Amino acid sequence: MALFKLQINGKSYQTEAEADTPLLWVLRDNLGLFGTKYGCGIAQCGACTVHLNGEATRSCVLPVSAVGTSKVTTIEGLSKNGDHPVQKAWDEVDVAQCGYCQAGQIMTAAALLKRKPKPTDEEIEATMSGNICRCGTYHRIREAVKVAATKTK
């Protein structure tokens, strides 16, 4: 076990873990940040998406030892009161059905809009296609990303 110093959601954390422990499990099991979900464990579904220095990253395959001094943002840290433009758009469009994939979907969409505030339909499709929604709400997800793009600065 090694001691890791992590910057998560603007706060400093210290935790012990094996170097190869995926960040997902450190977040959930060591730090009690349960918003990031486990979906597949092989970076194929997107449920575990967090931001690493602002980039959407699959935490289920990222060893905690690879985080270093990078800044991690989870769904809990995206906004203080759930008022990020993507979160507001998700509510407005009523995207969630079962909700399991939503944290990863929202984190992916937020990273896209930070990088490209006014994405084309093709850019939305290409970015969001790596996130699986088992309920099939893809049309509402795309619509919410478009709505959020109108709310971002």
- 133: CATH: 1.10.150.120
Residues 6 or more apart whose CB falls under 8 angstroms from that of 129 comprise none
Question: The whole model's pTM is what?
Answer: 0.96
Domain boundary residue among 78, 110, 138? 78
Last residue of a domain, one of 30, 54, 78: 78
Mean pLDDT for the stretch of residues 67-82: 96
Instruction: Looking at the structure, tell me whether residues 26 and 69 fall in a common domain.
Output: yes
Is the domain of 113 the same as that of 136?
yes
Residues 130 and 72 in one domain: no
Question: Is the predicted pLDDT of residue 152 greater than 80, yes or no?
Answer: no
Compute the distance between CA of residue 136 and CA of residue 97 in angstroms, rounded to an integer. Answer: 9
Range of the domain at 110: 85-151
Q: Are residues 62 and 103 in the same domain?
A: no
Q: Among 55, 78, 101, which residue terminates a domain?
A: 78
Per-residue pLDDT tens digits for 14-65: 999 999 999 999 999 999 999 999 999 999 999 999 999 999 999 999 999 9
Report how many helices (DSSP H) and strands (DSSP E) the chain contains, helices first: 5, 5
When divided into structural domains, the chain yields a total of 2
pLDDT tens sequence across 107-142: 999 999 999 999 999 999 999 999 999 999 999 999
Q: How far apart are CA 31 and CA 34, in angstroms?
A: 9
Question: What does the mean pLDDT of the chain come to?
Answer: 96
